[in-house]
């Protein structure tokens, strides 16, 4: 059994679709991508249904099945997703997911001709007229700390002589997050109120937090789970992964600084998390795999976290960016400002290693469980994946194109995460929007 998704005809960069917008060079969703999500027409009150993004359109997968473009075995599973999320499809494993990808390419590629176009056009909804929701029911959420450049930069702010703790290069660090406050792109949330303590204050106080931040992360969704007490070997880990999303782990830095010792993040992280709505499947990511390597002199992973496939193709190349638009910029028609760019392949641990370590103690993972990668910063000072890094802990404001400055987020600010996968000789694919907006605190 192969441990990672293989390249096949669905990755052919020459493939084109009869959906014309899917052939545009700047689309996130060419026919080589075919991400999965849950949608309904905007303004509708019916159930959310499984769909795939193709160019600037959303194809209703249940409708496609009913029209005869997908096999009955797939249609039966897709119908169980209506109103509930993709969990039942996730639980079926990679073979059925590959079948769905192959059947979609057969139905949507330009060679299918006018017959398929005529058949399936009624099943298309313009993306601008679609409402998205979370792609699945998320039972559990674990946030890892695999961005070594972020861990080092933040560590230097608090421990200049010893930024990384001794366990960092040996074990994937993580904590359990809050599921109920996870929202999909377009999420708005209130500035949290919490208990904080200034370094020179005699006692803590309670009020709207002042050091609100974003964190640029990649999320991984579990497909098939494992029985309690049965670990998952590194060579089988990716068989249990469904796909990736973008993830903004909003953070209240002043609450975090006061509460995190000795048990780690709690209310500083639980008020909001934003996901991109489209899941980029592990199959779509196959052309963008890279070798997983460690810097010379760093310890190699322990045997249970090490395997040939993970070494050869465990890393995934995703170019990541953060864009910020203030309320004044929106009012003036000024486009969001790009704040930074980094690379997901720089992660210190692969998604397979995160999953294997998570299950190594017998923890039973379930379809729809979510992993966060941790903040994905780059090695340079201007590649910080959070304002905490870009402003050196709030000491160096950043200036936006309209002259406004930021050390941390203000009410009305919108943050957009961007992810694109590129490789020589391959069709570029993207993740679509992951946008969240800060509203004033209650009261």
State the Cα angle at 241 between 421 and 41, rounded to 5°: 70
Helices and strands counted in the chain (H then E) = 11, 27
Of 150, 240, 357, 358, the catalytic one is 150
Q: How far apart are the first and last CA of the chain?
A: 57
Residue 189 near residue 272 (C-beta atoms within 8 A): yes
DSSP state of 399: E
CA distances 434 to 134, 139, 186, Å, are 12, 21, 7
Taking the C-alpha atoms of residue 304 and residue 220, their distance in angstroms, rounded to an integer, is 20
* Helix 113-120 / helix 94-108 crossing angle, nearest 10 deg: 110
* Both structure tokens of 165: 């703790």
Cβ–Cβ < 8 Å for 82, 62? yes
| Residue of 421, 413, 127 whose CA lies nearest to 277 | 127
Identify the bridge partners of residue 280 per DSSP, sorted by sequence position. Answer: 244
Q: How many residues does the chain have?
A: 443
Q: Residues near 423 by Cβ (< 8 Å), separated by ≥ 6?
A: 287, 288, 317
Among residues 422, 187, 435, which one has the least CA distance to residue 289?
A: 422
Helix (H, G, I), strand (E, B) or coil at 206: strand
Peptide linkage before 189 cis (omega within 30 of 0): no
Helix (H) / strand (E) element for 341: namely strand 337-343
CB 294 within 8 A of CB 314: no
What is the dihedral sign for C-alpha 138, 140, 141, 145? negative
User: Residues of 152-191 as b/e, b for ≥16 C-beta within 10 angstroms?
Assistant: bbbbbeeeeeeeeeeebbeebbbbebbbebbbbbebebeb
> Does the annotation count 150 as an active-site position?
yes
Beta-strand pair 319-325/124-126: unpaired
Catalytic residue IDs? 150
């Amino acid at each position: 059994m192969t441990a990672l998704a293989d390249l096949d005809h669905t990755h052919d960069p020459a493939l084109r679709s009869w959906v014309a917008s899917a052939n545009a060079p700047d689309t996130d969703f060419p026919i080589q991508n075919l991400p999965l999500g849950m949608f309904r027409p905007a303004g509708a009150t019916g159930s959310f249904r499984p769909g795939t993004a193709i160019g600037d359109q959303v194809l209703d997968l249940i409708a496609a099945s009913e029209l005869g473009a997908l096999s009955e075995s797939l249609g039966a599973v897709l119908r169980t997703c209506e109103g509930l999320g993709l969990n039942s499809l996730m639980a079926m494993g990679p073979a059925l997911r590959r079948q769905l990808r192959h059947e979609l390419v057969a139905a949507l590629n330009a060679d299918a001709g006018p017959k398929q176009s005529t058949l399936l056009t009624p099943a298309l909804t313009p993306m601008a007229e679609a409402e998205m929701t979370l792609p699945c029911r998320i039972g559990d959420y674990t946030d890892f700390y695999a961005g070594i450049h972020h861990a080092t930069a933040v560590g230097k702010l608090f421990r200049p002589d010893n930024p990384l703790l001794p366990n960092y290069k040996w074990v994937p660090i993580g904590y359990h997050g809050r599921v109920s406050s996870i929202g999909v792109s377009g999420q708005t949330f209130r500035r949290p109120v919490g208990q904080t303590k200034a370094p020179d204050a005699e006692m803590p106080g309670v009020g709207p937090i002042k050091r609100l931040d974003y964190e640029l992360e990649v999320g991984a969704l579990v497909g098939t789970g494992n029985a309690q007490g049965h670990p998952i070997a590194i060579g089988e880990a990716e068989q249990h992964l469904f796909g990736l999303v973008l993830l903004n782990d909003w953070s209240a830095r002043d609450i975090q600084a006061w509460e995190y010792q000795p048990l780690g993040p709690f209310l500083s992280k639980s008020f909001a998390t934003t996901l991109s709505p489209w899941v980029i499947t592990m199959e779509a990511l196959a052309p963008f795999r890279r070798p997983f390597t460690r810097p010379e002199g760093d310890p190699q992973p322990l045997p249970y976290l090490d395997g040939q496939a993970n070494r050869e193709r465990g890393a995934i190349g995703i170019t990541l960016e953060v864009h910020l638009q203030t309320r004044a910029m929106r009012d003036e028609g000024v486009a969001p400002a790009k704040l930074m760019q980094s690379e997901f392949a720089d992660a210190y641990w692969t998604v397979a290693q995160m999953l294997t370590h998570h299950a190594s103690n017998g923890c039973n993972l379930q379809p729809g469980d979510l992993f966060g990668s941790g903040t994905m910063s780059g090695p340079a000072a201007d590649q910080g994946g959070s304002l905490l890094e870009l402003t050196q802990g709030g000491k160096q404001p950043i200036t936006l194109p309209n002259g406004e400055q930021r050390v941390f987020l203000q009410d009305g600010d919108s943050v957009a995460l961007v992810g694109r996968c590129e490789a020589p000789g391959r069709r570029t694919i993207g993740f679509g929007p992951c946008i969240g907006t800060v509203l004033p605190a209650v009261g």
